């Protein structure tokens, strides 16, 4: 009887199986003009770079092709090295999986400030009770042969 039927667990709902249940396509993304260079730097040199708009006095991390505020195209001279050390802007400790199960080992996630931007990443070599907002951290990169040019080339951030 549709919504009048009292069903409290969605697995108890009857359903029609139309024979299709998933998107039959995957996405293969490009990192973009700025992103390509940003990730190549991480992969090749184990370093973090951004782009700076002098007019707006903002340094974007991850690097961007343009300043969103004034629409200036950020060019060769606007690329800046921001180093591998950042400051924790905020953090969380994740206890549940997407399925709602309790994680054996909670994940420590932080928003880490670099110049005027942030990277979201895992924390490592750091206990839950040690982390604090304002903590100085540094990137721990994977060994160079294992890097693929992605955000996971940084294994985690750790206290400085």
Residues binding another protein (CB under 8 A): 16, 18-20, 23-36, 65-66, 68-71, 73
C-alpha to C-alpha distance for 81 and 42, rounded to whole angstroms: 11
CB hemisphere CA count around 89 (13 angstroms): 12
CB of 55 to another protein, least distance (A): 11
**Where does 46-115 have alpha helices with state H?**
none
Residue number with CB closer to another protein (65 or 87): 65
12-16: list long-range contacts, CB under 8 Å, 24+ apart: none
CB of 54 to another protein, least distance (A): 16
Residue number with CB closer to another protein (60 or 157): 60
89: tokens are 């802007």
Phi-psi region of 130 (alpha: psi -120 to 50; beta: other; left: phi over 0): alpha
CB of 47 to another protein, least distance (A): 22
Residue number with CB closer to another protein (63 or 135): 63
CB of 64 to another protein, least distance (A): 8
Residue number with CB closer to another protein (59 or 84): 59
């Amino acid at each position: 009887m549709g919504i009048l039927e009292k069903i409290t667990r969605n697995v108890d709902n009857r359903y029609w199986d139309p024979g299709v249940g998933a998107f039959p396509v995957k996405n293969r993304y490009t990192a973009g003009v700025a992103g390509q260079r940003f990730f190549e730097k991480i992969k090749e040199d184990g370093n973090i770079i951004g782009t700076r708009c002098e007019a707006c006095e903002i340094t974007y991390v991850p690097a961007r092709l343009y300043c969103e505020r004034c629409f200036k195209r950020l060019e060769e001279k606007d690329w800046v090295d921001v180093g591998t050390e950042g400051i924790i802007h905020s953090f969380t400790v994740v206890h549940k999986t997407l399925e709602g199960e309790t994680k054996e080992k909670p994940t420590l996630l932080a928003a880490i400030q670099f110049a005027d931007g942030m990277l979201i990443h895992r924390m490592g070599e750091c206990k839950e009770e040690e982390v604090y907002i304002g903590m100085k951290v540094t990137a721990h990169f994977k060994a160079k042969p294992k890097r693929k040019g992605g955000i996971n080339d940084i294994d985690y951030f750790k206290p400085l």
